[in-house]
A and B are shown apart, each in its own frame.
Chain A
Amino acid sequence: MKKRALALAMAVLMTATLSACGSSKPGTAATTAAPAETTTAAESKGDTSKKTDSSTGYEIALVTDLGTIDDKSFNQGAWEGLKKYAEEKGISYKYYQPQEGTTDSYLETIGLAVEGGAKLVVCPGFLFEEPVFLAQDQYKDVHFILLDGEPHNADYSEKRIEKNVMPILFQEDEPGFLAGYAAVKDGNTKLGFLGGMAVPAVVRFGYGFAEGADYAAKELGIDNIEIMYNYTGAFAATPEAQSMAASWFQNGTQAIFGCGGAVGNSVMAAAEEKGGKMIGVDVDQSFESPSVITSAMKQLSVSVYDGVKAHFDDKFPGGKTSIFSAKNDGIGLPMDTSKFTKFTKEDYDKIYKELKDGKVTLVQPSQDNNNPTVDLKLEKTTIKFVE
């Protein structure tokens, strides 16, 4: 009896672990599916709940991916850009959260947004590549902004961007480059890169970071730059991530680029403990910890703001991919809040201009590879790739 109970406990424990992994998602989805329903309910009754314009529903909509609108990254950046424009012009807006992270669920939620009166749907994250590929034909009158991806079908055999889709890609290697360059110029020689999952954006950040460090080393004429390099495989703050960062700091690493959502928080905790420095990602993270010296930013909200604006100005750049890079000021470091000792605004403007003018060429990750020691040919820098 007791053994059976134990066996049962272990079995349920395993399923519970699994469901615990997914529990936060359905949990939050359930709460947000409710407002989505109230939209349609309000629609049919002609009710005025919260919306500013009850006759046409919510004109701009954002469908979140796995994150939430306060994830301090993608969804939040996109949401802020959308909100800013909408509030300036008094346009109604709303966000929808899919029940689960599948193409069907995303597509269904997009449908819900369109039904709710959306003329423009913002889809942040490369997980939306397939849903948008299907939605672009299904809702020809609706405009889509797709962040970090380009629409394609399930097996990548067909790639097509219709006139009603505006895919936005970022050159993540460029802000990574700037961060690496600045870190070395500021006097650091031992750096670290602690990424989240090895998704394309994270890999590009990492490659750029290493190349930036190498570039600065060449300028300064030093050749002993060392970079510890690891993908933690998750976007969560864990004692494991903290320990790894702490061990690097312990071993002499001066600054770590925490590139993967909450992984950065673990790096900050380690940096505070060991008196190290931390480099943030995506948005300006300087307010999160005193250890943050700068952040490799993507101007997410700016890009979405521009896209939404173009939609309302009837200049929607659909049909082709918009790339945000140094060329259109779509990336950068927040020099106002950065805590550099030697690296100045002039230095920053100079390297930014070089990047802008295309004087620096950055290597792109090759297919199916995320190991920088394979792709990059660095002269002054050694990368210790930690599997």
Chain B
Amino acid sequence: MNVVYFIFQQTMYFMIPLMIVALGAMFSERSGIINIALEGIMTMGAFTGVLFLSLTGGNFSGQGQLLIAAVISMATGMVFSLFHAYASINMKSDQVISGTALNMFAPAFAIFVARVIQGVQQVPFSNTFRIVSVPVLGKIPFLGPLLFQNAYITTYIGIAIFVLSYVVLYKTRFGLRLRSCGEHPQAADAAGINVYRMQYAGVLISGALGGLGGLVFVVPTSTNFNADVAGYGFLALAVLIFGQWKPVNIMFASLFFGLMKAVASAYSGIPFLHDLGIPSYFYKMVPYIITLIVLIFTSRNSQAPKAEGIPYDKGQR
């Protein structure tokens, strides 16, 4: 049983950042703007968040510090995504190119600023945020060890973001308008919706969630930040496509990716799986192979927003 809890807890470390970032990407793409700058946004968000943890390290600790860092990461992500929004909405540039530019800019910027501030590029932090067991909830049989032990507060934030995303996208006026801009912006405009404002909102939300995802990614897995999020921004895009741009599907897709990643890296410490003798390459391959298969079967009726990637031009018919 311990093994099950352990794997599930590890899965969370992979899943939560993937889900947060993929949900962010969903908001951007449903508004019609492709955002492949997620890797860069994650890097920037993680950088400022961890820098805050590092600078306030000596005299501040615990959940409060992490929450403030999370807010800082989100703000950074939003500011950084503004570049993408301006280029792709106002200047009608190719969205893929502006996203790529941000991806290349982010690590260089993080290294440069880290060097200027503290002399070395790695930003160290001390992790005081792990919750060994949530009071009361941690004692619930089965569910307690599964969800409320060895967890981070960011896990619950991630779950809250998931619920909120669903409600916002499907149950609010804003969500409906956002979706309409991604499907047929001309029609949305004719109905009196400010398309530019909706697209700005979509990109900014993706920036905020991307930045938060970066911080959530780094905190449990290292003791310093080295201007790198190991390609998880791109992986989040795969999760988004696998999840067919829908919040619930994205949640399950990230759970699946997270579980496979956790098993692939942790199987050697689990006697049962180790004795099966299946090489780790197999587990590492599975999520990607399944993504490919899913893409093949869904390509005919892909749920991608129809106006995605096309700069909105008011004059066009």
Contacts and interface: CB of A to CB of B under 8 A. Distances in A.
Q: Do they bind each other?
A: yes
Interface of A: 1-3, 5-6, 8-9, 12-13, 16-17, 19-20, 23-24, 27-28, 30-31, 68, 70, 72, 228, 230, 236-244, 246-251, 253, 262, 265-266, 268-269, 272-273, 288-289, 384, 386-387
B269 A237 contact: no
25 contacts: A2-B302, A2-B304, A3-B302, A6-B302, A8-B96, A12-B36, A12-B100, A16-B99, A20-B104, A28-B108, A31-B108, A70-B115, A70-B122, A236-B230, A242-B220, A243-B13, A243-B14, A243-B265, A244-B266, A248-B268, A250-B2, A251-B271, A269-B220, A289-B223, A387-B279
B234 A16 contact: yes
A239 B228 CA distance: 12
Nearest to B232: A239
Interface in B261-284: 261-262, 264-271, 274, 279-281
A249 B2 CA distance: 13
Given A70-B121, A265-B223, A386 B217 contact: no
A265 B126 CA distance: 11
A5 B310 contact: yes
Given A16-B100, A20-B231, A70 B120 contact: yes
Interface residues of B, number: 64
Interface in B259-317: 261-262, 264-271, 274, 279-281, 299, 302, 304-310
Contact of A244 (B13, B120, B265): B265
Nearest to A262: B226
A12 B302 contact: no
> When A and B form their complex, which 6 residue pairs have the shortest distance between CB atoms, in order from nearest?
A247-B269, A247-B266, A27-B108, A5-B309, A70-B120, A243-B265
Contact of B121 (A1, A68, A237, A265): A68
A228 B268 contact: yes
A243 B308 contact: no
B262 A386 contact: no
B255 to A, nearest CB: 15
A262 B267 contact: no
Contacts of B122: 70, 72
Contact of A2 (B108, B231, B306): B306
Contacts of A28: 108, 111
Given A27-B104, A250-B2, A243 B266 contact: yes
Contacts of A24: 107-108, 111, 227-228
Given A30-B108, A247-B267, A248-B269, 19 more contacts: A2-B306, A5-B308, A12-B96, A16-B100, A19-B104, A27-B108, A70-B119, A238-B221, A238-B230, A239-B13, A239-B261, A242-B13, A242-B222, A243-B266, A247-B6, A251-B270, A251-B271, A288-B223, A386-B280
Contacts of B267: 247
Given A8-B96, A251-B270, A387-B279, A23 B107 contact: yes
Contact of B103 (A6, A20, A239, A242): A20
Contacts of A6: 302, 304, 308-309
Contacts of B270: 247, 251
A17 B231 contact: yes
Contact of B266 (A70, A72, A246, A262): A246
Among B224, B261, B307, the most chain A Cβ lie within 10 Å of the Cβ of: B224
A67 to B, nearest CB: 10
B268 A386 contact: yes
Contacts of B119: 70
Given A243-B266, A246-B266, A250-B6, A288 B220 contact: no
A247 B104 contact: no
Contacts of A289: 223
Contacts of A237: 221-222, 224, 226, 228
Interface string B94-135: 001101100110011001100100011110100100100000
Contacts of A288: 124, 223-224
A24 B226 CA distance: 10
B100 A17 contact: no
A2 B245 CA distance: 14
Contacts of B150: 273
Interface in B131-170: 150
Contacts of B3: 250
B309 A228 contact: no
A240 B265 contact: yes
B2 A266 contact: no
A20 B310 contact: no
B21 interface: no
A9 B28 CA distance: 14
B308 A266 contact: no
Given A5-B309, A288-B124, A228 B265 contact: no
